[in-house]
Amino acid sequence: MIPISEPMPSLAQLRSFLAVAEHLHFREAATTLRMSQPTLSGNIAALEEVLDSQLLERTTRKVLLTPAGERVAEHAGRVLAAVEALMGEVAQNRDPFSGPAHLGVIPTVAPYVLPALLPMFARRFPHLKLTVHEAKTDRILEEVREGRLDMALLALPTDTSGLVEEPLYDEDFLLALPHDHPLAGDDAPIGRDALKGLDIVLLNQGHCLREQAIDVCREVGARATAATYATSLPTLVQLVAGGLGVTLVPESAVPVETGKRARLALRRFASPAPGRTIGLAYRASSARAPEHAQLAKAIRSAIRQRRLPVKVVS
């Protein structure tokens, strides 16, 4: 690596030299760059001094490139093209809703909400290059804080300083039971006290849905079984359908995870039903924070239009 104190060619010097290399004529090069010939000559002389090499062979009739000059011309072309690309990309990213955007989503939201959001992003924000990263809550929050993610869809509140949290929707938890469970034959709302004495299976460590389910159980003095855990919500539902216990399922997941499972029953809780709030979180210090706030509005609208079984926050 060249020390920072070492003299370096300037862009003006490289641009001047490249123009001469292309035209092999000082007057034509100066005209192209709209500068005087003395200024052009001064830039070339300064570049040769910085590089400690003769780049041009000047005769009375024409200008020729030296072998070193030919190599410098190749490099100068790449350098100037890269700088132009840099300037163009930065200029594009100054436009609202354009350039790269990295969205983190927790696993208990991604399969059920993204089908409503991704077409909306493509339609309404065609210049936004969205990438989606699915991970558990702790990992997503770390990556948002570190700047590797721009925003995240996850359960609120996060209790993380430095983040703006935009609530998007609230949803109820439903009690999922095996189809032959004694509580499966009634459609009336069930009280939370019914959780006492049930074998409640949960997701494993790191899923916020696990902690939310434990909080619900703790409120009524129920205990989750320590014998069985699942790594994903689909697996959790399969365990319940197989008779290994009961669990809490967010309502947005019901159409996907339980629609084709005849061996599963669902019971609603009496009001106030347990549930969760899902929102968009992003760094308050982000230069794109105003855009993220507008994206939150667009997400609410998309969820409302798809009529997902949730309560969109106004």
Give yes or no on whether 102-110+120-167+278-312 and 169-275 have one common fold. yes
What is residue 201's predicted lDDT score, i.e. its pLDDT?
A: 87
What superfamily does domain 169-275 belong to in CATH? Periplasmic binding protein-like II (3.40.190.10)
What is residue 222's predicted lDDT score, i.e. its pLDDT?
A: 74
What is residue 301's predicted lDDT score, i.e. its pLDDT?
A: 95
Q: How far is CA 252 from the centre of its chain?
A: 21
Cβ atoms of 96 and 144 closer than 8 Å: no
Judged on CB neighbours under 10 Å (0-12, 13-18, 19+), 23 is middle
Residue closest to 238 by CA, chosen among 260, 211, 216, 214: 260
What is residue 88's predicted lDDT score, i.e. its pLDDT?
A: 64
Q: From the first residue on, what is the mean pLDDT of each consecutive set of 10 residues in the chain (314 residues)?
A: 74 92 90 90 93 88 89 91 77 69 94 95 91 94 91 94 96 92 88 86 79 81 68 89 90 85 85 94 90 94 94 92
Its CATH architecture, for the domain 11-94, is: Orthogonal Bundle (1.10)
What is residue 231's predicted lDDT score, i.e. its pLDDT?
A: 84
Query: How many whole angstroms separate alpha carbon 311 and alpha carbon 314?
Result: 9
**In CATH, what number does 102-110+120-167+278-312 get?**
3.40.190.10
What is residue 89's predicted lDDT score, i.e. its pLDDT?
A: 66
Residue closest to 194 by CA, chosen among 151, 238, 248: 248
Preceding amide of 9 cis, omega within 30: no
The DSSP symbol for 273 reads P
Query: How many whole angstroms separate alpha carbon 266 and alpha carbon 258?
Result: 9
